[in-house]
A and B are shown apart, each in its own frame.
Chain A
Amino acid sequence: MSDPGELLRGHLGFWGAVCRSISHEMNNVTAILIELAGLMQDRLAAAGGQAVDGQKTAATLGRMGTQLERARRLMGLLNRFGHSVDDFDTSIEVSEAVEQALALCRRFADLKKCELESEVAAAGRYIISGSPFVLLHILFRALRAGLEQAPAGTQLLLRATAAEQGCRFEVTGATPTGDEVRLLEQLVVASGGRLLDQPGSFWLPARLRFPGA
């Protein structure tokens, strides 16, 4: 990813993957709500003007409420992701970025029947500066690299620790492999960070460079 064209393709690929994933899940929520609304219409039609079963109606409304809450969470996630390009040099709270990266990667983990966990060690409000988008991109790639060959049932842990005027990140639970590793390595180095000896580990400086800038 040292040439600007490849960096741009990497960033756009990340943007597209997140948008596809969230919109796909939103579409599922919409489909469920449509079927639940249809189910209530079916029951009303079957009742032929008589009172419908109150308990069944309450249960169906409860199921609709669950899906609406899911939709609200997804819209919040997409909105926050959209705002990650508002400022290319700002303060980023590491624990929030880690949680956001996990949320963006959750569906990819579900498709592989894997679980994602996070741990931000002794750095509750640890701040680094730079582009939130770039940090999310790096953390997302690190998780995807871990997921690439992870067997079903794997639990991946993304750990962040303050270290050497920067932050050390590591993904444990599966050995990162494949194209995602190559992309991750290039992105880390172009952001001013470096890879560490342990597979899936890297260090980022307290001031992130914007790769390609």
Chain B
Amino acid sequence: MEGERVLLVDDEREFAETLAERLKSRGLRVDVAFDGQSALERASHKTYDAVVLDLAMPGLDGLETLRRLRANNDEVQVIVLTGQATVDKALEVIKAGALDLLQKPAPLQELITKIEEASSRRALLVEKHMEEKLKDIMGKKGW
């Protein structure tokens, strides 16, 4: 079985590239984006099991990127990984549709567990959407 597909978004290039390398060595398939706009572009062309997203970024910040990712596709599962992990911030990002917020730096295993959770949740959502679509088609056909 192939590893989870992850999009890692962080303007700290050194951090993003090193974390990506470590996740890849554990079998995950990781792409990296260094700003919100690039993340949106990547996510519009490719399906990811999880997006790991920083908040404080130049240009389009993490919160706005999160909102747009979720508006474009509600199956996208976003894990916010930030140095600003306060209760208020957690509430704000979860309200905007994030799966969870982790304090940066997060233990690698904790992040991987969260990515696996995101992947499972996404798979369930995809299945649910497919069932709804099928029911809709069957309803229209009168089956």
Contact = CB atoms under 8 A, between A and B. Distances in A.
B139 interface: no
A52 B21 CA distance: 16
A24 B84 contact: yes
**Main secondary structure on B side of the interface with A:** loop
Q: How large is the interface on A (under 10, 10 to 19, 20 to 34, 35 or more residues)?
A: 20 to 34
A67 B108 CA distance: 20
B131 to A, nearest CB: 40
Interface stretch (A30-38, A77-85, A132-140): A30-38
A66 B21 CA distance: 19
B14 A46 contact: no
B56 A39 contact: no
A48 B68 CA distance: 44
B25 A46 contact: yes
Given A111-B56, A113-B58, A38 B15 contact: no
Contacts of B84: 24
B142 interface: no
Interface residues of B, number: 18
Interface string B81-108: 0011000000000000000000011001
Contact of B12 (A28, A39, A152): A28
Contacts of A112: 58
A63 interface: yes
A63 B14 contact: yes
B18 interface: yes
Given A63-B14, A112-B58, A113-B59, A31 B83 contact: yes
Given A35-B15, A39-B21, 13 more contacts: A27-B83, A30-B105, A31-B15, A31-B83, A38-B18, A39-B18, A39-B22, A42-B22, A42-B25, A63-B14, A63-B18, A111-B61, A113-B59
11 contacts: A28-B83, A28-B104, A31-B12, A31-B15, A36-B14, A36-B18, A38-B18, A42-B22, A67-B14, A110-B58, A111-B61
Interface of A: 24, 27-28, 30-32, 34-36, 38-39, 42, 46, 63, 66-67, 110-113, 152
Interface of B: 12, 14-15, 18-19, 21-22, 25, 56-59, 61, 83-84, 104-105, 108
